[in-house]
Amino acid sequence: MDSERSDAPAPFLTLKILVAGGFGVGKTTFVGTVSEIRPLNTEELLTEAGRMDDSLDEVTDKRTTTVALDFGRITFGDDLALYLFGTPGQDRFLFLWDELATGALGAVVLADTRRLRDSFPAVDYFERRRLPFVVAVNCFNGVRDYSAGEVATALDLDEETPVVLCDARDRESGKEVLITLVELAGEAATAPATTEPV
């Protein structure tokens, strides 16, 4: 195999974390606070998005749209990097979630207590995929109206899903959210799997 060639450079490991949540909850702010944020455009066919197609005629007949993802990178030395991907909010881009979630270490679901129901789709999605996730309640302007426990109850979270209160604009706070998630993912990776992911 190529990867076993003696002249191959040292392996470069990449890990991926998703940042999901409702519109305007602070995903872009969160990614930009903890990482070097960069633009990433995916041009997607709006119709039959999943279809593989080679023909130019087919492509020009269909409407394409540019979906800009929030994409951030944190590098640790020369051989390890953590990538954060903000998931697009609209339902019509759900197919992009599947690609982003594949191989992900875990996810952060940003929540706003004024609009908790906006977090339901993301919570449902990660529970179904059995992807480790933490719910990070973005406390705008330091307003902490609800406790972590109250949010967990309102979202009907599994016992093992951590809820942390955070401020997406604060780097230390964002780091704590990510550390909580990586610790959770580490436990998930070492625990024996009881059910296959869907």
Partner 1 sequence: MTDSDQRWYDEAAGPLVRLYAVTTGRAHVGSEQRLDLMTVIHALPDAGHDPVLSPEQAAILHLCRPRPHPVADIASDSGLPLAVVRVLLSDLLAMGLIRATPPVPPARLPDARILRKVIDGLRAL
Q: Does 102 bind partner 1 (CB under 8 A)?
A: yes
Helix (H, G, I), strand (E, B) or coil at 195: coil
Q: Does 48 bind partner 1 (CB under 8 A)?
A: no
Which element (helix H / strand E) includes 188? helix 171-190
Number of H helices, E strands in the chain: 6, 7
Q: Does 195 bind partner 1 (CB under 8 A)?
A: no
Task: Look at strands 64-76 and 133-138 and give their pairing.
Answer: unpaired
Whole-number Å distance between alpha carbons of 129 and 80 = 25
| Ranges of H-type helices in 47-138 | 56-61, 94-101, 120-129
Q: Specify whether the CB–CB gap between 172 and 181 falls below 8 A.
A: no
Q: Does 93 bind partner 1 (CB under 8 A)?
A: no
Instruction: Select the span of 24-32, 87-95, 120-128, 171-179 touching partner 1 (CB under 8 A).
Output: 171-179
Helix (H, G, I), strand (E, B) or coil at 144: coil
- Answer for which of 103, 142, 149, 192 binds partner 1 (CB under 8 A) is 103
Q: Does 54 bind partner 1 (CB under 8 A)?
A: yes
Measured from the CB atom, is 35 or 113 closer to partner 1? 35
Whole-number Å distance between alpha carbons of 106 and 18 = 7
Q: Does 129 bind partner 1 (CB under 8 A)?
A: no
- Answer for which of 20, 34, 116, 155 binds partner 1 (CB under 8 A) is 34
Q: Does 49 bind partner 1 (CB under 8 A)?
A: no
Whole-number Å distance between alpha carbons of 164 and 39 = 28
Report in angstroms how near the CB of residue 145 gets to partner 1 at its nearest.
28
Residues that bind partner 1 (CB under 8 A): 2-3, 7-9, 11-16, 34, 38-45, 52-56, 59, 66, 71, 73-74, 76-78, 80-83, 85, 99-100, 102-106, 171, 175, 178-179, 182-183, 185-186, 189-190
